Homo-oligomer: A and B are copies of this chain.
């Protein structure tokens, strides 16, 4: 049953994508405006449904079957959540069109022109948990970039997301875009079936916990864009400035500990173990960070003059597994190493290739670190927390990818486009390959300066 439903949905999505290719991009911007209007007009009704989701969730929390924090993420009425969701649609609508721009253009022969043009990927399958506003956020990104999408939210927010989806459909219906451009599915069985349909679905984007992402990566041949882990490190080089070290380590760890770009490991060059580390350790302890230390760094902390009150409770000996654990809390694993080279090797072996930062006054160390560390982000004297699509200036964030293929690091709208090659012959008799070769015509390969396709 789920199989045939899923097949129908996926096929309809592909059909919608293909049919949308001849509709101008302006219609997609119009769709976003219509969706925002429908949402705002139905705000009361949607927030009522959201309250029912919250009530049901509260019972689950009381029965011990749901965490308090998950329940909180369901709440769409809290603070400025609704307004920022609604404003987000217009913000995405206002971004530059990621499709139709030329990244390579060449005249292969007199009158034979080649253009590499950005275009949507096709059909996206987006799977997320809990937070209901993600359905609107992702639908906006898909529509703006010209992709059809199939969305699956968490069952905990089903009353809310079903009304949000209805609003999206109603908005779409006011445009010439196909009705099945954005579809939603409700059950895990449908998702399992959809993950088999690589003839219709071109990219899977999981937004949620590590285990969600891992499960999906393990069960589909469709490319997956997402990050399985955020295990970031800060390295204090032998020339590290103490003020920079304190600011960057504390910010990387404490600014938002449950984010994927928060630091989980601190690596100390042994040359600064007795100079920089004591001040950094004290600052971390004062910020309520628990330290899992190797023997060398532990000894220094234990001998701090006028030790902080909470010392014994907050400083522990680390285990090997400490350095491969994504704490996502106010806990930091600390290790001492004897060189920049060892630090690079340690990071490459233990980090999740997300974002790693060096604190150093040496240009040479900075350069070595940035090239030697094999991560999506390699930073010098800056907090790992800067790894973010908005902070990078992309105007939005589709996600952060720890994959290396297609998109890496924070991903903006351009992560939702690919390219195609358009070629045009303007010659009297068209162009054929048989006219080129030894003793015949030769290719010109003359660069054409343009950002758009002229036909």
Residues of A within 8 A of B (CB): 17-18, 21-22, 106, 108, 112, 114, 121-122, 202-203, 217-218, 221, 223, 225, 241, 243-244, 247-248, 250-251, 255, 344-345, 348, 359, 363, 366-368, 370-372, 374-383, 385-387, 390-393, 403-406, 408-410, 418-427, 429-434, 436, 443, 445, 453, 455
Contacts and interface: CB of A to CB of B under 8 A. Distances in A.
A385 to B, nearest CB: 4
A383 B424 CA distance: 10
Contact of A22 (B372, B380, B382): B372
A366 B430 CA distance: 13
A420 B377 contact: yes
Given A202-B405, A248-B430, 14 more contacts: A17-B374, A122-B374, A217-B221, A244-B429, A251-B434, A367-B455, A380-B423, A383-B431, A386-B423, A405-B406, A405-B418, A406-B406, A408-B418, A408-B420
Contact of A431 (B223, B241, B374, B382): B382
A381 B431 contact: yes
Contacts of A372: 18, 21-22
A106 B420 CA distance: 27
Contacts of A404: 121-122, 202-203, 418
Contact of A366 (B241, B375, B376, B455): B455
B455 A381 contact: no
A400 to B, nearest CB: 11
10 contacts: A22-B368, A114-B392, A202-B404, A244-B430, A379-B425, A380-B425, A393-B443, A404-B418, A408-B418, A409-B421
Contacts of A419: 408
A393 B107 CA distance: 9
User: Secondary structure of the A side of the interface?
Assistant: mixed
Contacts of A370: 422, 453, 455
Contact of A433 (B251, B366, B427): B251
Contacts of A344: 18
B221 A255 contact: no
A18 B370 CA distance: 12
Contacts of A244: 429-430
A385 B433 contact: yes
Contacts of A368: 22
A393 B404 CA distance: 25
A186 B405 CA distance: 27
B376 A421 contact: yes
Contacts of A455: 363, 366-367, 370, 380
B405 A409 contact: no
A378 B420 contact: yes
Contacts of A21: 371-372, 374
A221 B224 CA distance: 10
Nearest to A250: B432
Nearest to A256: B433
Contacts of A432: 247-248, 250-251, 255, 382-383, 385
A18 B383 CA distance: 24
Contacts of A378: 420-423
A433 B386 contact: yes
Contacts of A425: 379-382
Nearest to A364: B455
B18 A391 contact: no
A308 B17 CA distance: 44
Contacts of A223: 223, 403, 405
A424 B375 contact: no
B421 A108 contact: no
A420 B106 CA distance: 27
A423 B379 contact: yes
User: Which A-B residue pairs are the 10 nearest by beta carbons?
Assistant: A251-B432, A244-B430, A393-B445, A385-B433, A381-B430, A381-B425, A406-B406, A380-B424, A379-B423, A382-B431
A399 B403 CA distance: 21
A120 to B, nearest CB: 9
A240 B248 CA distance: 65
Contacts of A433: 251, 255, 383, 385-386, 391
Nearest to A122: B404
Contact of A423 (B371, B377, B418): B377
